Every structure is written in structure tokens, then in C-alpha cells.
């Protein structure tokens, strides 16, 4: 597709279960980002992938959160043993490379509700 694609668009899960969120970046984009947006809040940076470099994991809130990326394509964000405070929109974004002025394009997000 032409834009950043995320799935699922909505996910309701029980507390304690694991969830996986998927992101397909724009074709050819080497940089990929995950952000979290809690209700009424701004976006919190989670993790950043750039090509084959080691990812910047500095924003991950706990060791229950992890992410992988296969080459320069799909990324999966995994949340283990979900808690209610994990309820949020998880936004994926991509850009051509790590250039600071590059436009970062966002997907529509995966809405996660933990009950």
C-alpha cells in the first residue's frame, strides 16, 4: 500500500495475556518508529529501527515490551502480560532514513484495550 499499515486496528485483550501488533512501513523506508498514545495524552516514543543498526529501545517502558523488525520491512511490537495501563493507541511510523528533516509518516494506529 501507499501508507504505513498497522494491524489489528482494534484489539481487546484480557489482563495478563500477550499481544502482538504489526506494522508494515512504506516500501523503501529504512527507518521505523513505534509510539504510544494514551487517552488525552501526547505521543510517547517507544522504539526506533534504522536499517541494520541496533534499535534505539530507550523509550520502552518495561521489559514486558519488545519489538522486532525483519530487515527493512515488517515490525512487530509485543506486549507480554498486559496490564490495564497498557491500554492506548500504538502508532507506527516510517521515514526514508534517519535524516532529521525527513518527514515521518504515521499509520492509523492499533487501539489496544486491556480489560
Partner 1 sequence: AQSVTQPDIHITVSEGASLELRCNYSYGATPYLFWYVQSPGQGLQLLLKYFSGDTLVQGIKGFEAEFKRSQSSFNLRKPSVHWSDAAEYFCAVRGNTPLVFGKGTRLSVIA
Q: Do residues 24 and 106 touch, judged by C-beta distance below 8 A?
A: no
Spatial contact of 104 and 93, defined as CB atoms under 8 Å apart: yes
In whole angstroms, how close is the CB of 101 to partner 1 at the nearest point? 4
The H or E element spanning position 113 is strand 110-114
Identify residues 32-71 at the interface with partner 1 (CB under 8 A).
Answer: 33, 35, 41-43, 45, 48, 56, 58
**Contact string (CB under 8 A) for partner 1, positions 76-105, x = contact:** ---------------x-x------xx-xxx
SS3 (DSSP) at 80: coil
Give, in degrees to the nearest 5, the angle at Cα 63 between 8 and 14: 45
Shortest distance, position 90 Cβ to partner 1, whole Å = 12
Task: By CB under 8 A, name the binding residues for partner 1.
Answer: 4, 33, 35, 41-43, 45, 48, 56, 58, 91, 93, 100-101, 103-109
Amino acid at each position: 500500500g501507499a501508507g504505513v499499515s498497522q494491524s489489528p486496528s482494534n484489539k481487546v485483550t484480557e489482563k495478563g495475556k500477550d499481544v502482538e501488533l504489526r506494522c508494515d512501513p512504506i516500501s523503501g523506508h529504512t527507518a521505523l518508529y513505534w509510539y504510544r498514545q494514551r487517552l488525552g495524552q501526547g505521543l510517547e516514543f517507544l522504539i526506533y529501527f534504522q536499517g541494520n543498526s541496533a534499535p534505539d529501545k530507550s523509550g520502552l517502558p518495561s521489559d514486558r515490551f519488545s519489538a522486532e523488525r525483519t530487515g527493512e520491512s515488517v515490525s512487530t511490537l509485543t506486549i507480554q502480560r498486559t496490564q490495564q495501563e497498557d491500554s492506548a493507541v500504538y502508532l507506527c511510523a516510517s521515514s526514508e532514513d534517519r535524516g532529521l528533516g525527513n518527514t515521518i509518516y504515521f499509520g492509523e494506529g492499533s487501539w489496544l484495550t486491556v480489560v
